[in-house]
Structure 1
Amino acid sequence: MSKRVLLIDDDKDLLKLVSMRLKSDGFDVASADGGRKGLAMLDSFQPQVVVTDLRMDDIDGMAVFEYVKANRPSLPVIMLTAHGSIPHALEATRRGAFAYLTKPFDSAELISEINSALQAHGDTDEESSDGFCARIVTRSPLMKEVLAQARMVARSDTSVLIQSESGTGKELLARSIHDASERADKPFLAINCSAVPESLLESELFGHSKGAFTGATKNHDGLFQAAYGGTLFLDEVGDMPLGFQAKLLRVLQEREVRPVGSTTSVPIDVRIISATHFDLEKEVEEQNFRKDLYYRLNVVQLTLPPLRERRDDIPLLANHFLREQAQSKGQNPKRFSAEALEILVSAAWPGNVRQLQNIVEQTTVLSSTQVIPAQLVQNALKMDSGEIPSFAEARDNFEREYLAELLNITQGNVSKASNLAKRNRTEFYRLLHRHHLDPSEYRGRRQA
């Protein structure tokens, strides 16, 4: 298992020596000769421990620590300090830095502190060694706690209710529980209860016999039968019509279904995992959901935190979606600028992870460069929330896209592009600079 350490120090000789020693001891090491470079590597390298010098020319170790504390609170930071700055190092440890070492230090002592940090903060790889919840990308302590609970409940046959906001990944968690259960080699089937009309819900879940209604030309197995031996995921169960809830309760109690139009009941063997964005307890109090069905479904309840409560996952998820986009198209992955990532991390995300995925897909398609700019992310968030851009914003967007298209057509030839735009080269260069467009990125590019 890799143990990723990010080293930050503007002393290049020390950086090289420490890096070599850590690598020889089995660590996966990335090094940065300054605080600014170190911060830029956090999202791409995904370290499990940061070791940073306290005194540096561009951004000092305290600034690095403050950034990590604000954006990656579960990431341990070890400070390296000279004798004269020990009070600052002590202040950093008081505020949450894992430890500090005084220069000159012994490499064995540093390795010991790194191993202690790894042990204290646990494994922060995206997936555990046995692959549980491998589909779920996270480093958030809140999510880790939910996944630990899910892991325990997966071993049993207990009914699970996942009660969380829309877009948080309820079906993904349900699939992970199924995959880790003894039913993993049997079907996992899902139905969105809010998307199926009440008149068809019974047929979809329980099945129907030939001739049961107009259009029923043959016998049809419902999902309870089709998922025999496996797991049935009832998504948005809180939207299930009140009249149908009694029928579902009877099926769960009797462990058998009677297809529509049939006089014979069929035994079932499924595990039920249900999910809702409603507060079902409140729905029960308001008599919108049956209390007996609620208790039947809610044997174990799991709650996925909304994305706004796990902001340290946002860069990780954004980069994950960028890689997925690139792989699906056989291209090199694009990346977000530092400013764009800041906007993503600070956004409200009412649509949670699903909304983030949509924004990543949208900006990937619209970006004419490998680095996705902040303005494109800002515009996508506004449009996604239904906001109409101002006239000035719309004009800037058009101008940027127009200039990018000219560079694309001329393959980065500024003379040709300025002629097409009927502008002199000086003015054209000024426009390119304003919109952060680099002609060299378009040279040699074939037009689509």
Structure 2
Amino acid sequence: MTQAGAHLLVVDDDADMLRLLTMRLAAAGYRVSTATSAEAALTQVDIERPQLVLSDVRLPGRDGLALFDDIRARHPSLPVILLTAHGTIPDAVEATERGVFTYLTKPFDGKALLDKIAQALALSAPAPTAQRAGENTWQADIISRSSRMAETLAEARMIAQSDASVMLRGESGTGKEMLAQAIHRASSRAGHPFIAVNCGAIPEALLESELFGHMKGAFTDAVANHKGLFQAAEGGTLLLDEIGDMPLALQIKLLRVLQERVVRPLGSSQSIPVNVRIISATHTDLDAAMADGQFRTDLYYRLNVVTLTLPPLSERREDIPLLANHFLVKLAAKYGKRLSGFAPEALKALATAAWPGNVRQLYNVVEQVCALTTTPLIPLALIQRALRAPSVQVLSLAEARQRFEREYLVDLLKLTDGNVADAARLADRNRTEFYRLMQKHGLTPGHFKADI
């Protein structure tokens, strides 16, 4: 699939070859400029900014390889394709190792040339203009040009006009929370809160209080009234992420809330009306969970009024260069680096990788290479290293310590049923210090009592 109207610069000192290439590319819908020397080509690149350069290796004076080196130095993300005779194949092979997108030997197949040009343009194209211009602000955070995503977003926009509960399905890391936010922004609730809660990340003992709230004195350490997330999202949208991980006992209470549109905080005898749109998300097989008795069928049908399925990244590969470059811009600012893009061969490696962790894994890989690169252009070697290693979220040491510390405290309080003295003893800390740590992480021992 070609990019209609893309601007190509063709460089060759053979007038007949130049005419033939120009006719063939123009017939395919491209806008073509020509040059007969490396020096003239460089001038045109600087002035006209073409989207791709197609050059013969043999040129008068400075050859096509020298031209490529100059283009790489000035415009590192501009793709270059070389045309070579059999005698210069070794040079062309070396050039691809240095970053030329590809080379074709003369006489070349016309279809192969058009295919390679289309691939190079797809890998280096900018984000769609309409999206950059902000015409679709509701979906502005979703970077895509794929037809699969376009269909999903069109459905999402229609669904947003109703108040129906939505179930988002898709593999982990495909962007379900981002799609939920887009639905919220496209709805009449956009002026009210959007709140997301991961049902699998909050300890079971805390989840009910987090969702529905509690009253002062409802349990040990409940020293004040606490609004739950349903009340906090009043008028807006509540995303219940990883809904398949919700405990069965809490599923019953959630079903009652959805049926009656009221919540009753822990320790309260009064119900509070709530007006919230529910979006739920899961990467697990809820049909299997229902068959195993791990997920309530009546709750499933209450949540699953409309279903949207996000495609995995492997089924929207045309989005990989867009996403990678988008993440690069964001992360360059985070790490205080002046980064100009990916080497063409590095971008090819990203575009052809497996991506079992989807967009989240791509983000983590780009963050790793941004943190490690010592050059403005991300090289292939760094991408290969990041893809070979397990893809991890890059955290500062302080952030990693914070995360570990909270998880460690939660595990200890679970183990001791909220007994602070026992938990402090296991942690080899005095009670005062342990209370201070719990306060720092917003934990209350009463939530972990066995009778809650």
TM-score scaled by structure 2?
Answer: 0.64
- Cα deviation, 1:368-422, whole Å, max 9, x if unaligned, reads 1112221211111121269xxxxxxxxxxxxxxxxxxxxxxxxxxxxxxxxxxxx
- Look up the match of 2:142: 136
Unaligned runs of 5+ in 1: 21-27, 47-54, 77-121, 387-448
- Cα deviation, 1:88-127, whole Å, max 9, x if unaligned, reads xxxxxxxxxxxxxxxxxxxxxxxxxxxxxxxxxx988567
1:209-358 equivalent positions in 2, closer than 5 A: 209-358=215-364
2:10 alignment partner, SS class: coil
Task: Provide the C-alpha distance between the structure 1 equivalents of 2:149 and 2:236, rounded to a whole number of angstroms.
Answer: 25
- Greater CA drift, 368-377 or 240-249: 368-377
- Look up the match of 1:34: 54
Aligned residues of 1:8 and 1:35 also touching (Cα < 8 A): no
Aligned residues of 1:35 and 1:59 also touching (Cα < 8 A): no
- Look up the match of 2:115: 66
- Look up the match of 1:439: none
Task: Provide the C-alpha distance between the structure 2 equivalents of 1:70 and 1:32, rounded to a whole number of angstroms.
Answer: 11
- Look up the match of 2:10: 10
Using the TM superposition, give the Cα deviation of residue 200 of structure 1 relative to its aligned residue in structure 2, in angstroms: 1.0
Using the TM superposition, give the Cα deviation of residue 228 of structure 1 relative to its aligned residue in structure 2, in angstroms: 0.4
For the structure 1 residues 8 and 58, does the alpha-carbon distance in structure 2 shift closer, same or farther, using more than 3 Å as the test? farther
Task: Provide the C-alpha distance between the structure 2 equivalents of 1:29 and 1:4, rounded to a whole number of angstroms.
Answer: 17
Task: Provide the C-alpha distance between the structure 2 equivalents of 1:333 and 1:58, rounded to a whole number of angstroms.
Answer: 38
- Look up the match of 1:191: 197
Q: Which runs of 4+ in 1 moved over 4 A?
A: 11-20, 40-46, 55-61, 68-76, 122-128
- Look up the match of 2:426: none
For the structure 1 residues 314 and 68, does the alpha-carbon distance in structure 2 shift closer, same or farther, using more than 3 Å as the test? farther
Match of 1:299, as an amino acid? V
Task: Provide the C-alpha distance between the structure 2 equivalents of 1:9 and 1:71, rounded to a whole number of angstroms.
Answer: 13
- Cα deviation, 1:262-291, whole Å, max 9, x if unaligned, reads 000000000001100012122222222111
Match of 1:276, as an amino acid? T
- Look up the match of 2:387: 381
For the structure 1 residues 71 and 279, does the alpha-carbon distance in structure 2 shift closer, same or farther, using more than 3 Å as the test? farther
For the structure 1 residues 184 and 56, does the alpha-carbon distance in structure 2 shift closer, same or farther, using more than 3 Å as the test? farther
Task: Provide the C-alpha distance between the structure 2 equivalents of 1:249 and 1:19, rounded to a whole number of angstroms.
Answer: 62
Aligned residues of 1:168 and 1:306 also touching (Cα < 8 A): yes
Using the TM superposition, give the Cα deviation of residue 346 of structure 1 relative to its aligned residue in structure 2, in angstroms: 1.6
Aligned residues of 1:367 and 1:376 also touching (Cα < 8 A): yes
| Residue 151 (structure 1) aligned to one of 138, 151, 157 | 157
Task: Provide the C-alpha distance between the structure 2 equivalents of 1:32 and 1:335, rounded to a whole number of angstroms.
Answer: 15
2:278 alignment partner, SS class: strand
Match of 1:62, as an amino acid? K
Match of 2:249, as an amino acid? G
Aligned residues of 2:124 and 2:321 also touching (Cα < 8 A): no
For the structure 1 residues 252 and 72, does the alpha-carbon distance in structure 2 shift closer, same or farther, using more than 3 Å as the test? farther
Using the TM superposition, give the Cα deviation of residue 332 of structure 1 relative to its aligned residue in structure 2, in angstroms: 2.5
For the structure 1 residues 127 and 158, does the alpha-carbon distance in structure 2 shift closer, same or farther, using more than 3 Å as the test? farther
Aligned residues of 1:74 and 1:141 also touching (Cα < 8 A): no
Match of 2:171, as an amino acid? E
- What is the aligned residue count? 322
Match of 2:390, as an amino acid? D
Aligned residues of 1:71 and 1:311 also touching (Cα < 8 A): no
Match of 1:7, as an amino acid? H
Using the TM superposition, give the Cα deviation of residue 190 of structure 1 relative to its aligned residue in structure 2, in angstroms: 0.7
Match of 2:331, as an amino acid? Q
Match of 1:307, as an amino acid? L
Task: Provide the C-alpha distance between the structure 1 equivalents of 2:325 and 2:259, rounded to a whole number of angstroms.
Answer: 45
Task: Provide the C-alpha distance between the structure 1 equivalents of 2:356 and 2:374, rounded to a whole number of angstroms.
Answer: 28
Task: Provide the C-alpha distance between the structure 1 equivalents of 2:315 and 2:75, rounded to a whole number of angstroms.
Answer: 20
Task: Provide the C-alpha distance between the structure 2 equivalents of 1:147 and 1:273, rounded to a whole number of angstroms.
Answer: 15
For the structure 1 residues 73 and 360, does the alpha-carbon distance in structure 2 shift closer, same or farther, using more than 3 Å as the test? closer
For the structure 1 residues 323 and 60, does the alpha-carbon distance in structure 2 shift closer, same or farther, using more than 3 Å as the test? farther
Match of 1:249, as an amino acid? L
TM-score scaled by structure 1?
Answer: 0.64
Task: Provide the C-alpha distance between the structure 2 equivalents of 1:272 and 1:219, rounded to a whole number of angstroms.
Answer: 24
Unaligned runs of 5+ in 2: 13-17, 34-47, 57-67, 80-103, 393-452
For the structure 1 residues 73 and 209, does the alpha-carbon distance in structure 2 shift closer, same or farther, using more than 3 Å as the test? same
Task: Provide the C-alpha distance between the structure 2 equivalents of 1:59 and 1:372, rounded to a whole number of angstroms.
Answer: 31
